[in-house]
């Protein structure tokens, strides 16, 4: 196994496991403040690494404006909705609904990335994903009630926001050092999270800081954020973008299994069928008909990545 494939596996396991730690932490912590503190810790770690390694930091105002905007939508809006929504639905279902990111990215990329146009195959995948989401929405409204339905809506909205951010990063931020990009985005995301949390949820110092809350926060900040985003931005530069997007197919399955095995989360037949439809649709979007070196994770250059965009 080469280095890129090992990193891909590690990322899949990390992002498949973060959902259960969000669920556990939400037992004692309010969602918005929980998310904000997670990225406060992660950003501090990343910036210490940046200073220690003397990574290049953007100097152009335009770069910082793009980091600020993508950070706000990818961290403040995305994770605020994730943490708020997962209070109302299972961790596995939350992961499945957020896996619609490539479906939203397909449409958004059509307008921002000229090399990534909508095809009939990808359109069919997006429509299949929509059917799956609709079935899950119906299940949550019918079986769990309106609160669970709104939680599901929040997770789908979060997928839209992070997809928009990902496309902008591909279009405008490829030249920015990965650590500086992730660290900058976290700063611009955590500030509104902490501000909203302080107003709506009270002082962080008055929260119920149990060992479970501290352990969940530590895992999410250190492993699920600082380490995971460094690995992800490294991987994006090393392999074809299609292979990185395949993580979206694996993490929901891992999250569903962990939720069922550890918390005894139930999966109704509608959720199972809807999840299968979403994952099948996403596979149509992100899996090419002919992958160069199919099944391999051979590292590629920036030029190869551009060619990969054209093939998709």
| Residues 201-240 pLDDT 10s | 999 888 889 999 999 999 999 999 889 988 887 887 777 6
Joined together, the tokens standing for residue 145 give 């009630």
* Structure tokens given for 84: 């708020």
Per-residue pLDDT at 32 = 97
Contact 247, 9 (CB under 8 A): no
Give per-residue pLDDT as tens, 38-80: 999 999 998 998 999 888 899 999 999 999 999 999 999 999 9
Q: Are 33 and 204 in contact (CB under 8 A)?
A: yes
Residue-level pLDDT at 240: 65
pTM: 0.84
* pLDDT at 211 (0 to 100): 96
Total domains, the chain: 1
pLDDT value for 146? 86
Rounded Cα–Cα distance for residues 198 and 193 (Å): 9
The alpha carbon dihedral of 183, 188, 194, 196 has a sign of negative
* Residue 176 DSSP code: S
**pLDDT on residue 242:** 59
CA 282 vs CA 125, 192, 307: distances in Å: 6, 31, 21
Integer CA distances (angstroms), 233 to 4, 30, 40, 181, 207, in order: 12, 29, 19, 9, 33
What angle (nearest 5°) sits at the alpha carbon of residue 278, between those of residues 216 and 11? 40
Burial (CB < 10 A; 0-12, 13-18, 19+), residue 219, is buried
User: Tens place of pLDDT for every residue, the chain, 312 residues?
Assistant: 588 889 999 999 999 999 999 999 999 999 999 999 999 999 999 899 899 988 889 999 999 999 999 999 999 999 999 999 999 999 999 999 998 888 888 888 877 777 777 788 888 888 898 898 989 988 888 777 889 999 999 999 999 999 999 889 888 888 888 889 989 999 999 999 999 999 999 998 888 899 999 999 999 999 998 899 888 878 877 776 657 767 877 888 899 999 999 999 888 888 999 999 988 988 887 775 444 444 455 554 443 443 333 333
What is the structure's pLDDT at 302? Answer: 41
Domain span at residue 54 reads: 3-311
Cα dist from 284 to 125, 271, 281, whole Å: 5, 20, 5
- Residue-level pLDDT at 241: 61
CA distance 193 to 303: 37
């Amino acid at each position: 196994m080469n280095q890129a494939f090992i990193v891909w596996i590690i990322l899949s396991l990390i992002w498949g496991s973060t959902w259960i730690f969000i669920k556990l932490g939400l037992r004692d912590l309010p969602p918005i403040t929980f998310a904000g503190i997670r990225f406060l810790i992660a950003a501090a770690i990343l910036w210490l690494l940046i200073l220690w390694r003397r990574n290049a930091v953007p100097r152009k105002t335009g770069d910082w404006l793009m980091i600020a905007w993508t950070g706000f939508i990818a961290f403040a809006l995305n994770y605020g909705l994730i943490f708020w929504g997962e209070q109302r639905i299972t961790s596995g279902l939350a992961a499945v609904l957020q896996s619609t990111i490539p479906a939203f990215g397909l449409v958004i990329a059509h307008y921002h990335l000229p090399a990534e146009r909508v095809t009939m195959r990808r359109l069919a995948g997006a429509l299949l994903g929509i059917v799956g989401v609709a079935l899950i929405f119906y299940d949550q409204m019918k079986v769990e009630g309106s609160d669970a339905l709104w939680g599901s809506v929040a997770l789908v909205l979060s997928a839209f926001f992070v997809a928009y951010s990902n496309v902008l990063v591909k279009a405008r931020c490829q030249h920015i050092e990965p650590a500086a990009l992730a660290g900058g985005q976290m700063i611009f995301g955590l500030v509104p999270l902490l501000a909203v949390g302080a107003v709506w949820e009270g002082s962080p110092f008055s929260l119920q800081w149990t060992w479970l809350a501290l352990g969940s926060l530590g895992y999410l900040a250190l492993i699920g954020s600082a380490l995971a985003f460094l690995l992800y931005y490294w991987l994006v530069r090393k392999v074809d973008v299609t292979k990185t997007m395949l993580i979206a197919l694996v993490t929901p399955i891992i999250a569903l299994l962990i939720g069922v095995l550890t918390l005894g989360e139930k999966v109704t037949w509608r959720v199972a069928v809807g999840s299968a439809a979403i994952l099948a649709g996403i596979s149509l979007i992100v899996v090419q008909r002919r992958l160069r070196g199919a099944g391999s994770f051979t590292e590629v250059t920036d030029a190869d990545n551009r060619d990969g965009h054209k093939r998709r």
